[in-house]
A and B are shown apart, each in its own frame.
Chain A
């Protein structure tokens, strides 16, 4: 993959300058931001730390940034780091007791599920500040085009930002893939006691990857907020978003760096196609399709599309292994 990479990078960078049409660019930006979000999830998901609460982190990233801007007039350049810190902190508060007391596998997933539900409830409960289910809009600054406010009207600019962040996400994925952290986490997911006996600081390692994943997801939320200039609890937070993340990664392929991206492409294109074909009647249909597909994929193709294709390419039969290997609970 060494020689194709600069070429691909050059093509991707050049794209918005060659192809100006705003709608496709918009779709690309959305795809890139969500790919980044899904990649962030898969960074911990691939090690069996399946979280159903990442909608919560995304929501925090989005809302904290927007609230600090609107209420405290804090530039997103400072607001975003604060939002990231907040989600990191929340990740520690929830994950630490879980890991310390060996709440793993599906118990952990249930706790994180509750987490994303709770974040949604908090957003709704503080409706005087957040607008609740009606959504929230960051104030436009200088006509919506300002580096200080991290707002840009040009889709090309956003495309490049999203591309950079997405590429950054892949870079982080690759770094983790090649690190000792990966070895430690894979050992942990195979046999936690064995890993501990071998000297691995189980809780610390798991916490590291969880915080990393949470913070990246929060960044995705913050970017989404700055790009769309409108957020609501169900578009950035909640169980639906969490499940959507899992779905996209499962479909795309959880063990492959580009898997989540493939998943994002599929889910977003599907939603757009439905929206274009059916208009407002399409409300709910996309999630309906996701739901059915998720079940079908879990049963028949747990390695995802990309994962299974790669298996085929390498001559291995896609075996019905678990989508996420969990430490035998």
Chain B
């Protein structure tokens, strides 16, 4: 009985740790949606590219891991800006579904580009981080690190939004886009900054995820749909909602994975999502409509 409880506790804690990274990702997506009113379906694919970048920089070219991480974050931030400028900006006036489909095209493109350039084999960073033993429970150091880093990053984003002028503009533009010029704010500039921020968060997530998981062109499919579910359930654009939903989903997956294969965790998460839609529809209405 005691051993059983320990596994449960371990799963619970792992759920929390996983939740941290998922919350970070949903923050990125919510930022983009809240400010620019667009969903990047290819968000997970940006992370995938970041993970590949980390693999090449660290495992192939033997750059120190911290340097690789900084480069990765910057690179994906730039990718976010390119995505916005080339694909999103021309479609800002169109129906939202067009913007969604266009990012779908980018998803296709990125997955295929990765397949063509890197092949379909799984690649691993090869970095063995220690496993901590906390009273009968085994917690991986990489998970803990990811969790703490994610929390710190979210705190940094919060401070940016709350304390700086640009951060205030980011918050404001989500609430009333049309009068921003009256404040002297260049909305295009804010979009670019937000895209860079969303990309940077994806890059950071890539650094954290590559410590724990292998990378392959379709790795985005493992957590992409999940992030969308999290954001929709928490309310697209609702940072707090996304944060909470991330942990809820992470626990479901972790506990589901305790008794069954990991994939079933996702199935339960989706089933949970459907049930929640019946029970709490107001939690699903995005702030903007």
Q: Tell whether, in the assembled complex, residue A125 and residue B264 are in contact, meaning their CB atoms are under 8 Å apart.
A: yes
Among A120, A294, A324, which residue has the most Cβ atoms of chain B within 10 A? Answer: A294
Q: Tell whether, in the assembled complex, residue A283 and residue B115 are in contact, meaning their CB atoms are under 8 Å apart.
A: yes
Nearest 3 CB-CB pairs, A to B? A291-B109, A294-B105, A291-B108
Interface residue tally for chain A (C-beta within 8 Å): 57
Residue of A whose beta carbon sits closest to that of B279? A97
Q: Tell whether, in the assembled complex, residue A114 and residue B270 are in contact, meaning their CB atoms are under 8 Å apart.
A: yes
Q: Tell whether, in the assembled complex, residue A302 and residue B98 are in contact, meaning their CB atoms are under 8 Å apart.
A: yes
Q: Tell whether, in the assembled complex, residue A291 and residue B221 are in contact, meaning their CB atoms are under 8 Å apart.
A: no
Residues of B near A50 (CB, < 8 A) are 97, 100-101
Q: Given A243-B108, A288-B112, A110 and B228 touching (CB < 8 A)?
A: yes
Q: Tell whether, in the assembled complex, residue B115 and residue A284 are in contact, meaning their CB atoms are under 8 Å apart.
A: yes
Q: Is A290 an interface residue (CB 8 A)?
A: yes
Q: Which of A88-146 contact B (CB under 8 A)?
A: 93-94, 97-98, 100-103, 105-107, 109-111, 113-115, 117-118, 120-122, 124-125
In the complex, A121→B261 CA distance in Å? Answer: 10
Interface residues of B (CB under 8 A from A): 39, 41, 87, 90-91, 94-102, 104-116, 120, 217, 221, 224-226, 228-229, 231-232, 236, 260-264, 266-267, 270, 273-274, 277-278, 281, 284-286, 289
Q: Tell whether, in the assembled complex, residue A324 and residue B228 are in contact, meaning their CB atoms are under 8 Å apart.
A: no
Residues of B near A286 (CB, < 8 A) are 112
Q: Is A273 an interface residue (CB 8 A)?
A: no
Q: Is A322 an interface residue (CB 8 A)?
A: yes
Q: Tell whether, in the assembled complex, residue B96 and residue A239 are in contact, meaning their CB atoms are under 8 Å apart.
A: no
Residues of B near A239 (CB, < 8 A) are 107, 221, 224-225
Q: Tell whether, in the assembled complex, residue A121 and residue B98 are in contact, meaning their CB atoms are under 8 Å apart.
A: no
Q: Tell whether, in the assembled complex, residue B277 and residue A106 are in contact, meaning their CB atoms are under 8 Å apart.
A: no
Q: Tell whether, in the assembled complex, residue B221 and residue A238 are in contact, meaning their CB atoms are under 8 Å apart.
A: yes
Q: Given A117-B224, A118-B270, A125-B261, A243 and B95 touching (CB < 8 A)?
A: no
Residues of B near A118 (CB, < 8 A) are 225, 266-267, 270
Q: Given A94-B274, A115-B270, A298-B98, A110 and B232 touching (CB < 8 A)?
A: yes
Interface residues of A (CB under 8 A from B): 48, 50, 52, 93-94, 97-98, 100-103, 105-107, 109-111, 113-115, 117-118, 120-122, 124-125, 238-240, 243-244, 246-247, 250, 283-288, 290-295, 298-299, 302, 320, 322-326, 329
Residues of A near B226 (CB, < 8 A) are 114
Q: Tell whether, in the assembled complex, residue B104 and residue A110 are in contact, meaning their CB atoms are under 8 Å apart.
A: no
In the complex, A97→B270 CA distance in Å? Answer: 13
In the complex, A238→B104 CA distance in Å? Answer: 13
Residue of B whose beta carbon sits closest to that of A120? B221
Chain B nearest CB, measured from A51 CB (Å): 11
Q: Tell whether, in the assembled complex, residue A292 and residue B105 are in contact, meaning their CB atoms are under 8 Å apart.
A: yes
Residues of B near A325 (CB, < 8 A) are 95
In the complex, A10→B249 CA distance in Å? Answer: 56
Residue of A whose beta carbon sits closest to that of B236? A107
Q: Given A117-B224, A291-B108, A299-B91, A125 and B284 touching (CB < 8 A)?
A: no
In the complex, A106→B232 CA distance in Å? Answer: 10
